[in-house]
């Protein structure tokens, strides 16, 4: 369930953040929500140090709910290593 939240932030920062969000094809709310999820997760789990580039990408990809990582990995590896790209399901 989504709920509205009122924040007090410098006007110039809001304007720059909106431009950034638009350039990425995302809403400012989405960026802030994903950032908050990332920092809450960091607090509750042990975080492995990553490069600044990897950190900046965190939360930028949303897979479909029915996305099956193992199945997609199997297909990609089959295509790469098996002649004719046969699937090994």
Residue 50 confidence (pLDDT) = 61
Torsion of Cα atoms, 41 then 2 then 33 then 70, to 10°: 60
Task: Report residue 53 CA to chain centroid gap.
Answer: 13
Q: What is the pTM of this model?
A: 0.47
pLDDT tens, position by position, for the chain (89 residues)? 889 999 999 999 999 999 999 999 999 999 999 888 888 876 655 445 566 777 777 777 788 888 888 998 898 888 888 865 555 55
Torsion of Cα atoms, 75 then 80 then 86 then 89, to 10°: -30
Of 55, 78, 53, 73, whose CA–CA distance to 63 is shortest? 73
Task: Report residue 54 CA to chain centroid gap.
Answer: 10
From the CB of residue 22, how many other CB atoms can be counted at a distance below 10 Å? Answer: 11
């Amino acid at each position: 369930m989504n709920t509205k939240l009122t924040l007090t932030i410098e006007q110039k920062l809001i304007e720059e953040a909106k431009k950034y969000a638009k350039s990425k094809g995302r809403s400012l709310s989405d960026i802030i929500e994903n950032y908050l999820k990332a920092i809450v997760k960091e607090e509750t789990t042990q975080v492995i140090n990553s490069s600044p580039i990897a950190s900046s990408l965190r939360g930028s990809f949303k897979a479909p709910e029915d996305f099956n990582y193992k199945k997609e990995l199997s297909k990609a590896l089959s295509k790469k290593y098996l002649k004719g790209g046969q699937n090994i399901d």
